[in-house]
Structure formats: structure tokens, C-alpha cells
Structure 1
Amino acid sequence: MKKKFSFPSAYTVILIVLFLVLVLTYFIPAGKYATLGYEAENQEFVITQPDGESSKEPATQKTLDKYKVNTNLEKFTNGDVYKPVAIPGSYEELQREKRTLFSALKEFLSAPVQGLAQSIDIITFVLILGGIIGVINKTGAFNAGMNSLSRKLQGKEKWLIILTLTLIAIGGTTFGFAEETIAFYPILIPIFMAAGYDALVAIATIYLGSSIGTLASTINPFSIVIASNTAGINFTDGIGLRLAMLIIGTIMSIWYTVRYAERVRKNPAESLVYDQKDELEEKYLKSNSDEEIPVFDLRKKLMLIIFAAGFGVMVYGVKELGWLFVEISSLFLLITFIIAALSGLKEKEFVSEFVTGASDLLGVALIIGLARGVTIIMENGMISDTLMYWLSNSVSGMHGPVFTTMMYFIYILLGFFIPSSSGLAVLSMPIMAPLADVVNVDRALVIDAYNWGQGIISYVAPTGLVLASLEMVDVTFDKWLKFVWKLMVATIIVSIVLLAIGVFL
């Protein structure tokens, strides 16, 4: 009997991508742009040549003009542009060290290890989060709360999708709410499933909310603001078009998700993960199947309130205080101690449940590290700048909507290889933004093409967050592709149309 094909796991998908990127480094020449960075301590610019040699020059507008970096000096001195930017016209091909089969194997094996080391902050957060969830599950607080919520939501289930997706999209568009959403999956999956939906609805609601929010960033400092500053324009330029993208994209994502969710609720066989129905229900809904649902008493309510309040504090810290994952992990460690006191569990039982909960998310932590390994291979192979050089040359003679459309597809490609929004902004804007002047197009449209192109590829790029998110929900990559591809095509069409409208405004 012929064996049915089984789509590979997220780990294998990332390793395949890592291997393919490594192969690309043997065919794409190594090269780099010179960069200009601001040194606040000495109030000087540091110019780093492609070969690594550096020199210092006065931090003046004259120096920026000399290197054709069309950005106001104030943007560097006040910290708006905090990463070194590429210097236009400075690209040079570089000679790579001769590599043997052994050195290639070493690079392939060491990249995931380095990726884990460089991702330790977010990995720590994920493990602490898993530990807290393990403890709360043991007390029965989630089951009791879920039972209470599902009774209240009867007949209004779709509003859970509408409100959650909208709020996450607002977080994405304002302050780049992305990696932090990993925290919501273990909480929302059981709630969505109890409402009659499948696990895919949970990832659609959370991941699409984050993706459309960051794609249509309006005031996101990690993408729109730094890209605008680097391009030499105000981040409010073209904000009307971005608001249009945000509203249209959010409505499309909500309609698409609700339509699928309601179809599944009425007929579970319509689910794209129907073959996993029993397995997922066993994991998320029947953890206490042999026990009576616990009473939703004051202790359990307090635990859930404190846990939920942690996310509010996290959002405030990230948005207003500039918190990174060290601060976020510290916050949730504090919540761990508070819940330890409230849980009523003995010390050894608490520690055991915390470790068990952390181990449940270990797979997610490993995927985050592996995905970072792909970026390390590219950095070591020095091919990002070469791709930028080739693609900027290919678009330089185009005009009008053809220019904006090609720019959009260029950023889709670059976004696959460079998942960091701020990293792509400082690499590309000094090169791409001036091309808009040549063809008489507003520079804000180049920024829109950058943000929308990088945003749409994040829906499926294994180098981003999608595989870690899928691992949280136990859904394979092929099922997600089958679910999301039509929405992606529709969003691409809307993006191209809005960019074309922008040309004629």
C-alpha cells in the first residue's frame, strides 16, 4: 500500500530553507554597501567601508550631503535613526574566503546554534510563559474560566474574532505588535475551540491581526518611522494611504476569518485541520475530561486577572517605555511568583508543573532560534546587499504605477530574506528612496511598497514568525498555506491598486 505523503514539520521546513540560502551564497556574489552611523558619545559619524575599515567624520549636515544620505542631521542626533544606514553608490563586491565542503557543513550546523544563542531573550520569555500556563492549567483556572466564557458567548462567538483581530491589528500598526503575540495562543486556542471553532481560527485571528497591523503600519516606530526618517521625509507623509490599507486590510482579514470560522462551527468537517480534531480536542479541551469542571472561585478569578493584567503592562512597557524581551520576561517572572502564592500548590508540585509547562513550549523556542539561523547564514554570506544592489538597478528606469508595482514585488523578495523591518529600512531606503525622485514619484510610496511588500511575505515566510506560531497551534505549514493564499492574493491586489492611486494623487 502506498504511503500517504506527510508534510514535513516546521523544523524540517526551516532546515530546508537554511540549506537553500547556504547554497545561494555559492552563486550570489558577496558584497556590501559602506555604512554611516552616528556615535552619540563623541557626536561623530562613523563611516564603515565595505571591507570593514572605518573612519570618523564630524556629525554635520555637510557630511550627510557629502555621502548623499538624504536625511536630516536631527534624525541621527535625537535617536530616530539608531542603526547605521547604507551609503548610496558605495556597493562593492567582496572576495569570500575559500570554502570547502567541511566549512560549508560547519556553517550549516553552527548557524542554528548561533541562532539559539542570539534569540535567548525571546526564548526565555516563551519558556517562562509556558511555565505559568502549566501552573494555571493545573489549578483548573483556565478550564473554569473557559466554561464561564463559552456560556456567555453563546450566539456571539464571531465577536471574539472581530474584537481580538482588531485590537491586535491596532497594536501592530502603532508599535509593531508581533513577537509578543506568541503569548496569546495557549490562552485563546481553548476558548476558540470551546466556541465551536478549530485551532486554525485561533492562529488566523492572532497572526492575521498582527500581520495586517504591521503591514499597514501607520505610526510604527520600528518600520514606518525609521524608514521615513532614513528616506528623508516625515513619517506622516502618505499616512492617508496607509490608513486606507489598514482599514481595508483589517476588514478583509476579519471577513475572511469569520467566514471560515462560521463554516467550521456549522460543519466541523469543513475544517482544514479536521484530521487532527480528536488530537487537538484531547490536548486543549479534555485535559480534565475525567474530572468535573472546577468551580470558578475567587482564587481562580484572581489568577486569571493577574495573568491578563500582565499583558496590559507588557503592551504599555513596549509602547511607552521601550521594553525589550529582557524586561518582558522579568515581568512574567514576577507574575510567576505571584501566581505561585495564589495557586495553593505545594512548592515541589508548583515547580514540577512549571517545568512541564515550559517543556510544552520548548518546540516553539527551538523554531525561533532555527529561523534566526537563516539570517546568520545570509549575514555571513554577505548576499543581502548584493540582492539590494541588483534589484535597485533593475527598477531604476521604470515610471509611474509600473515603478511602484515593481518596487512592491522587490520588497516582497527582500522581506523573505531580511525579516527585520528596521534592518531592511536602513539598508534599503538610502538606495531606493532617491529612485522615486528620478521617476517623479513621492518617496512615501517607496516606503509604502517597502512596508506592504515585507508585510505580505510575513504571512508565509519561514524566516519570520509564522512557523513558531503554527507550532503553538500544532498546525502544519501546508494547511496554513491552503487557508491563507486567497487572502494573500486579494491583499496583494489591493496594495498594487493603492500604490497606483498614490502615483496620481
Structure 2
Amino acid sequence: MEAENKKRKWSLPHSYVLIFAIIILMAALTWIVPSGQFDRQEVTVDGMTKSAIVPGTYHTVPKSGENGNLRQGIPQILSAPMEGLINAADVVAFVLIVGGAFGIILQSGAVDRALLALARRLKNKGILVIPIAMVIFSLGGSTFGMSEETIPLYAIFISLMFALGFDSMTAILILFLGTQIGYVGSTTNPFSVLIAQGVAGVHGNPQLWLRFIEWIVFTGVSIAFTMWYAHRVKKHPEKSVVFKSDLLTRPLFLKEDSGEEVVFSVRDKLIVGGFVVTLGLIVWGILAKGWYMTEIGAVFFALGLFAGIVSKMNQREMAENFVKGCAEFIYAAVIIGLARGILVIAENGMIIDTILNSLANLLKGLPSYAFTTIMLLVHNVITFLVPSSSGEAALTMPVLAPLGDLVGINREAIVTAYQFGNGLTNLISPTGGVLLAGLAIARINFGQWIKVIIKLFAVLWIIAAVFAAISASVGM
């Protein structure tokens, strides 16, 4: 019977397998879906020339003829991942360079010590730890994509929450909700907004001012919810959804906190200060100089070198930590290339414009708020299958960004709907590795997490739908 139950157990396939399956499906569609194309014209936006669809010019194209055989077969399927990686080389290189730089920065330990020193300094003020820590984590998620980097901090914050009279769930809310809500309200996150804008052809982060407002609102609501939850648990511990399990885990985590003073050295302050200066420089570069992935990657690389020098790493240690950092982000880098392979098949089969034309006819006439709400729902569904923010951007933006052109919705609104859909779904998705890691460390099951987060998720989703509609209405 046990063997039979194991056979019946179903789980989502690995993201790489899923994307390769979509490549096969896309190849099959090139045999079924009529091939066609729009006329295109060169347009200049912010000094950059790009190709844009001319609405109303769609026409079908024969499956075989002067364009060759448009039906994609086994040879094309097998070569699509390689071609996708080649086509996405700039984005892949950007992800690896930034990942390597953060490998050096995080290995210095300055970020960990800064957060821990701050938390312990506020220990006697209890609940004030929550807003300060969540602002820091949310800012990290919003600006540079902080996520997996918090995993080493879970044990520390669980211990601290127990010591302050809260529960283990409060630590998960501070760390996971804090960083993830930063993803939802991304401003300059290179693994979310910047990649999506790059793939969608949006230059210069034109709605950065609106993104800052979104980040403030999302973070404020999340902090208020977490503080309400923590206050309620401290006043009535038995109302905690993890009350019984915490009785068993509390002794384990409390003895992990030795109480020794954390030394936040001058070197640590220089590294953290350099990080803050770097973020300000990137915002200035985007707004004033039109920086893109090359320039932003160079700045992050310089920050990594600075952190290595200040922390007195030798040349071998810096190189090894850079490689470790790259390794942490290789999953995201490869998935971007694989996702681009889907686009390669669709482009070679000339079915993208056919799909766009059909969607445009279906959605034509809808008010902008209805369109962006549908896009938000679409990304909610896709994220369950492709939780990686960069992977989803690479997978969806080539199709949905031109769709916005056809129905008169600016591409920045398409990017906004994507970032909201991806970030919010990962709050409740069982396919997210960071969430499952945090819950496992705290000995919390997924059902308990859903019971706590689901009401907040509903509120945040409504706010996201409103902001997506605003993004569409204000233009670029």
C-alpha cells in the first residue's frame, strides 16, 4: 500500500523540465497555429531606436515557401536551448556578474552583522525590531533582489523573536514577507524589474517615481499586519497558529542565541555604507544617464571588489567567493536562456504575431484597468509553474509587451503587472524554495503559513490591481 501511495504522489516537474516541455509544445503549435506577421517600423524612444508593431497590418504567411519550412521539428527543439542562451547572453551575463559580486559582499559578513547588531540593540524595545528589520529587508528585495541571502538569518531571528515573547511565525513574516514584499514593490531589482524592462524594451525605468510609492504602500501594509500579528500573539500566546509546535522548538532556538555582543566593525560600516552609496548611484545613473544592464552590472562588480578589499580578502578568496556567488544565481541565469529558447521556436515558426493578433482581438476595447487586472491574473497562474522572477520575465515579456502595444497599453504597465503577479504569488506558492526553507527551519508546515498569510494576500492583491491600473493610465 505504501508503495502504491508513492506511485500516486504527484509533484510539479523541475522548472527546467517544464520549460523544455513548453519548447516541445511550442514546436507542436507551429504545425497547428497559422503563421503570420505584422508589419513593423523603427521608432525612437528616449534616444533608442527599436522595432514596433504596426497595428492592423497582420497577414498570414505560408508554412513553406520563401521563408523556408516554418514547422519546427526535433532538430529545432534540441537546438532551441542553445540558441536561447546565445540570444539572452547579455541578460545571463548580467545575472552572473551581479550574483558573483554579491557572493563577495555576503561572504564578508558585514550585512549579517549589521542586521544582527541592529536587532539586538533594539531588543529591549521589542516590537520596534519589526518595522526596522522589515524596512531593511524590503528595501533589499526592492533594490537588489534580496531573497536567498536571508536563509542564514532565520535561526537568528527565530531565536530573537522567542526572546522578545513572540512566536516563530513572526520571524518568518519579518524575513520572508519582508524581502518578498520588496519584490512586489520592486524599484531597481535587477532580477525582476530591470530584466523585465530589458526584455520588454522599456528603457530608463520611466515610472520609478510610481514604483517608490508602490513600495512604500506595500511595505507599510505588510509591516502593519506583522506588528498586529506579533502584538496579538504576545498578548495571547495560545492564539498563535504555531503555539503547540513552538512549545517543542522554543528550547532549541533559545539556546542558539549566546547573547554575545555583535561587533559591527569599521570595515563592516564601510561595506554597508558602500552598498548604500551604490544603490544611490544606480538610481542616479538610471534617471540621469540612462544606464542599462552593462553600467549597472559594472557598478555592482565594483562594489563586490570594494567589499573584498575592505574585508581584507586575498585575491584567491575574492575569486572563489565570486564563483560561489555566480553558482547561487546559475539557476536563474540558465532558466533565462531556456525560456528564450521558447521564443526562438515561436519566432522561427512565425506564430508569435498570430497569437498576439488573436489576443488583441479578444481583449480589444477593454478598459485599461480590466486589461491590467487580467494580466495580473495571468502572472498569478504562470508563477505557480515558473516561480523564478527572472525566468518568468524572460518567458512572458516577449509576448505580452507587444500585446500591450496592440491594445494601447504602455509596456511599463505590462512590466508592473508581471512584478505584482510574480511577487504576490510567491507569497502563497509551494514551489518557492526560500519560503519552504524558512518554514522548515522554523518547523512550520505550509498549511499554517497559508492560514496566516491568506488574508493579507487578498488585501495586497487588490492594492496591486489598483496600482497596475494607475501604471497603465499615467503612461511612460
Partner of 1:459: 423
1:391 maps onto 2:391 in alignment = no
- Structure 2 distance, partners of 1:385, 1:169, is 38
Within 5 Å, give how 1:172-251 maps onto structure 2: 177-182=142-147, 185=150, 189=154, 192-196=157-161, 197-199=170-172, 201-214=174-187, 248-251=217-220
Indicate which of 97, 102, 109 corresponds to 1:124. 97
Within 5 Å, give how 1:220-369 maps onto structure 2: 248-259=217-228, 270=241, 296-297=262-263, 300-321=264-285, 322=291, 323-340=295-312, 347=314, 351=316, 355=320, 359=324, 361=325, 364-369=328-333
What displacement does 1:429 show?
3.9
The amino acid that maps onto 1:88 is: P
What displacement does 1:379 show?
1.8
What displacement does 1:113 show?
8.6
Q: 1:503 to 1:31 in 2, by over 3 A?
A: closer
- Structure 1 distance, partners of 2:200, 2:85, is 29
- Structure 2 distance, partners of 1:295, 1:502, is 47
- Structure 2 distance, partners of 1:228, 1:114, is 15
Partner of 2:344: 380
Q: Is the 8 A contact 1:22 1:377 kept in 2?
A: yes
What displacement does 1:244 show?
8.0
1:492 maps onto 2:461 in alignment = yes
- Structure 1 distance, partners of 2:229, 2:37, is 46
What displacement does 1:163 show?
3.9
Three-state SS of the structure 1 residue aligned to 2:41 is strand
Q: Is the 8 A contact 1:130 1:357 kept in 2?
A: yes
What displacement does 1:34 show?
4.2
Three-state SS of the structure 2 residue aligned to 1:130 is helix
- Structure 1 distance, partners of 2:424, 2:330, is 18
- Structure 2 distance, partners of 1:264, 1:363, is 39
Three-state SS of the structure 1 residue aligned to 2:123 is coil
Partner of 1:46: none
Q: Is the 8 A contact 1:37 1:83 kept in 2?
A: yes
Q: Is the 8 A contact 1:146 1:190 kept in 2?
A: no
Partner of 1:87: 54
What displacement does 1:82 show?
5.6
For 1:404-457, what per-residue CA distance to the aligned partner results, in whole angstroms no more than 9, with x for missing partners?
Answer: 324421354379586269867862443121xxxxxxxxx7xx778635532322
Partner of 2:131: 162
- Structure 2 distance, partners of 1:367, 1:471, is 17
What displacement does 1:293 show?
7.4
Indicate which of 407, 420, 432 corresponds to 2:407. 432
Partner of 2:118: 149
Indicate which of 366, 373, 383 corresponds to 1:408. 373
The amino acid that maps onto 1:254 is: I
The amino acid that maps onto 2:359 is: L
Q: CA RMSD in A?
A: 5.4
What displacement does 1:164 show?
5.1
Partner of 1:19: 20
1:419 maps onto 2:424 in alignment = no
- Structure 2 distance, partners of 1:259, 1:369, is 38
Three-state SS of the structure 2 residue aligned to 1:27 is helix
Q: 1:308 to 1:108 in 2, by over 3 A?
A: same
Three-state SS of the structure 2 residue aligned to 1:324 is helix
Q: Is the 8 A contact 2:379 2:418 kept in 1?
A: yes
Partner of 1:2: 2
Three-state SS of the structure 2 residue aligned to 1:329 is helix
The amino acid that maps onto 1:419 is: A
For 1:436-491, what per-residue CA distance to the aligned partner results, in whole angstroms no more than 9, with x for missing partners?
Answer: xxxxxxx7xx77863553232222678xxx98872896669x95994765544333
What displacement does 1:27 show?
2.5
Alignment: residue pair count: 410
Q: 1:306 to 1:410 in 2, by over 3 A?
A: same
Three-state SS of the structure 2 residue aligned to 1:253 is helix
For 1:289-348, what per-residue CA distance to the aligned partner results, in whole angstroms no more than 9, with x for missing partners?
Answer: 9xx777655xx512211221232122122111234223212221122122116xxxxx5x
Structure 2 unaligned residues grouped into runs of 5+: 64-68, 162-169, 286-290, 383-390
Partner of 1:56: none
Three-state SS of the structure 2 residue aligned to 1:195 is helix
For 1:166-223, what per-residue CA distance to the aligned partner results, in whole angstroms no more than 9, with x for missing partners?
Answer: 5676798xxxx454435863686565344324456412101212313459xxxx9998
Q: TM-score, normalised by structure 2?
A: 0.63
Structure 1 unaligned residues grouped into runs of 5+: 39-72, 342-346, 434-442
What displacement does 1:36 show?
3.5
Three-state SS of the structure 2 residue aligned to 1:340 is coil
Q: Is the 8 A contact 1:31 1:93 kept in 2?
A: yes
The amino acid that maps onto 1:36 is: Q
Q: 1:387 to 1:313 in 2, by over 3 A?
A: farther
What displacement does 1:122 show?
2.0
For 1:86-116, what per-residue CA distance to the aligned partner results, in whole angstroms no more than 9, with x for missing partners?
Answer: 3323445564644333542443577579768
Q: 1:156 to 1:34 in 2, by over 3 A?
A: farther
For 1:388-417, what per-residue CA distance to the aligned partner results, in whole angstroms no more than 9, with x for missing partners?
Answer: 32222112244x5xx632442135437958
The amino acid that maps onto 1:379 is: L
Indicate which of 70, 73, 80 corresponds to 1:107. 80
What displacement does 1:260 show?
5.6
Indicate which of 409, 414, 434 corresponds to 1:470. 434
Three-state SS of the structure 2 residue aligned to 1:99 is coil
Partner of 1:70: none
- Structure 1 distance, partners of 2:240, 2:321, is 33
Three-state SS of the structure 2 residue aligned to 1:84 is strand
- Structure 2 distance, partners of 1:337, 1:388, is 51
Identity percentage of aligned residues: 14
Q: 1:362 to 1:432 in 2, by over 3 A?
A: same
- Structure 1 distance, partners of 2:145, 2:468, is 30
Q: 1:98 to 1:148 in 2, by over 3 A?
A: closer
The amino acid that maps onto 1:252 is: V
- Structure 2 distance, partners of 1:454, 1:110, is 25
Q: 1:186 to 1:24 in 2, by over 3 A?
A: same
